Amino acid sequence: MKYLIIGLGNIGQEYEFTRHNIGFQVLDQLAAEHQTKFQIDRLALITSFSYKGRSLYLIKPTTYMNLSGKAAQYWINKLKIPIENTLTIVDDLALPFGKLRLRPQGSSAGHNGLKSLEEYLKTQAYPRLRFGIGNDFAKGQQANYVLARFKDQELFLLESPINQACEIIKSFCTLDITRTMEHYNADTSCKDLTGANRI
């Protein structure tokens, strides 16, 4: 069984640790846990490892966010992985900071990376793990907010949900999406980590 895990983000030092790049951060953590490193390849940085009899391929598209679907489509076709065996990790303004939500399908909700996946995959029915980044920005400042780096305190608070995101990915690949959703979507440890006093 093969699985493709797609972390959404933008390449380049100027985008490291920005809110829009949380998909990259999750995959970096997962790769580190399994002592594997990303290598540049066609349209993406890619690495892979075996876990409980499954082959997990991780990609970080080098196409920038707006063309994420191009890289996803290429690697889905090259590795011959069905869409239901893919999982896209994406930042989400609609969820509180640190909240995680696994979904089998859904709209792009205006997210350019998800719009690109819809365009190239010709469907909204692809699994995604939504990672809450909060929405503490003034009107008209959404782009600046998502492209800004996490604050130091936020980076500290992210350690737990990033680790949990890695557990969700492994559960998705070894169990199934339904049982993984039942367990993790109801997990109260995925609460808004900043509480009432948002950073």
Type of residue found at 39: Q
Residue 106: inside a domain, yes or no?
yes
Q: Quick check: is 20 catalytic?
A: yes
In sign, the C-alpha dihedral spanning 53, 6, 103, 136 is positive
What Rg do the C-alpha atoms of the chain give, in angstroms? 16
**Strands, sheet with 39-41, edge to edge from the N-terminal-most edge strand:** 39-41, 44-51, 54-61, 2-7, 86-92, 128-132, 100-103
pLDDT digits (tens, 9 = 90+) for 49-79: 999 999 999 999 999 999 999 999 999 999 9
DSSP assigned state of 162: H
Residue 88: inside a domain, yes or no?
yes
CATH at 20: 3.40.50.1470
Three-class secondary structure of residue 195 per DSSP: coil
Q: Please give the tally of structural domains in the chain.
A: 1
CA pair distance 96, 1, nearest whole angstrom: 34
Residue 198: inside a domain, yes or no?
no
Domain that holds residue 55: 2-190
pLDDT at 191: 44
Nearest residue to 63 (alpha-carbon basis) of 37, 87, 40, 91: 40
Tokens standing for 177? 């999406």
Residue 82: inside a domain, yes or no?
yes
Tokens standing for 112? 């350019």
Residue 101: inside a domain, yes or no?
yes
pLDDT digits (tens, 9 = 90+) for 121-141: 999 999 999 999 999 888 889
Residue 74: inside a domain, yes or no?
yes
Tokens standing for 144? 């600046």
Pair 169, 5: CB distance under 8 Å: yes
Task: State the catalytic residue, choosing from 20, 34, 111, 183.
Answer: 20
Tokens 């010709």 sit on residue: 122
| Alpha-carbon separation of residue 155 from 17, 21, 126 (angstroms) | 8, 12, 29
Residue 134: inside a domain, yes or no?
yes
- pTM of the entire structure? 0.92
pLDDT digits (tens, 9 = 90+) for 10-52: 999 999 999 999 999 999 999 999 999 999 999 999 999 999 9
Residue 197: inside a domain, yes or no?
no
pLDDT at 189: 44
